[in-house]
A and B are shown apart, each in its own frame.
Chain A
Amino acid sequence: EDKVVQSPLSLVVHEGDTVTLNCSYEVTNFRSLLWYKQEKKAPTFLFMLTSSGIEKKSGRLSSILDKKELFSILNITATQTGDSAVYLCAVGLITGANNLFFGTGTRLTVIP
């Protein structure tokens, strides 16, 4: 059975801290791994990773994929209160559906 596991489930940090969110997966037809940020309602796209070892960066956020060990991490440096959200990890599968298999998410709370 395909599985995507995110950890921790929730996290509370102070502004300025650096956080690392984890996503491990066990799927049979891996194609890509995606990270989304869900602040209130609509998840917004952060990164899509397909190759191991290549870091993707966007400002204070970065992510990397390890296809051998089957996991990805999302790093956020110098956290701000605006980073408070649920971060979703999803795996894209090689099927006809072109859809995503989601983890349960990590709820990040950044306090001033």
Chain B
Amino acid sequence: DGGITQSPKYLFRKEGQNVTLSCEQNLNHDAMYWYRQDPGQGLRLIYYSQIVNDFQKGDIAEGYSVSREKKESFPLTVTSAQKNPTAFYLCASSQPGLGEKLFFGSGTQLSVL
């Protein structure tokens, strides 16, 4: 079955630690996205990539980094510079020709120890 796989489902970060969230898709989509979801707030865009080896900052990129070395993979690193990382992180993908229709993974809940 085609889809988007995020791992791990739950992740804990210690003070000063970088952590990496995995996102893999087998939909053959060109574009991939990372969103952050906080209680009472809408999904906010962190980073997006429309093609391999290229990515752009979204609305809340500070304290995060990404890479897009393969079409299938778009990992997100939450760095120690992100002072409030506790949130639910959603990865998504889309394909030109399908408009703005995004396909989402099941998310990673990140908490700070």
- On A, residues with C-beta under 8 Å from B are 4, 31-32, 34, 36, 40-45, 48, 50, 88, 90, 92, 96-105
Contact = CB atoms under 8 A, between A and B. Distances in A.
B107 A100 contact: no
Tell which of B33, B35, B94, B101 has the most Cβ of chain A within 10 Å.
B101
Interface in B61-101: 88, 90, 94, 96, 99-101
A66 B6 CA distance: 36
Given A48-B101, A98-B96, A103 B42 contact: yes
Interface residues of B, number: 27
Contacts of A101: 42
A98 B100 contact: yes
Given A45-B102, A45-B103, A98-B48, 8 more contacts: A31-B99, A42-B106, A43-B104, A48-B100, A92-B100, A97-B58, A98-B94, A99-B33
18 contacts: A32-B100, A34-B100, A40-B106, A42-B90, A42-B107, A45-B103, A48-B100, A48-B101, A50-B99, A88-B43, A99-B33, A99-B45, A99-B48, A99-B58, A100-B43, A100-B102, A102-B44, A105-B42
Contacts of A98: 31, 48, 50, 94, 96, 100
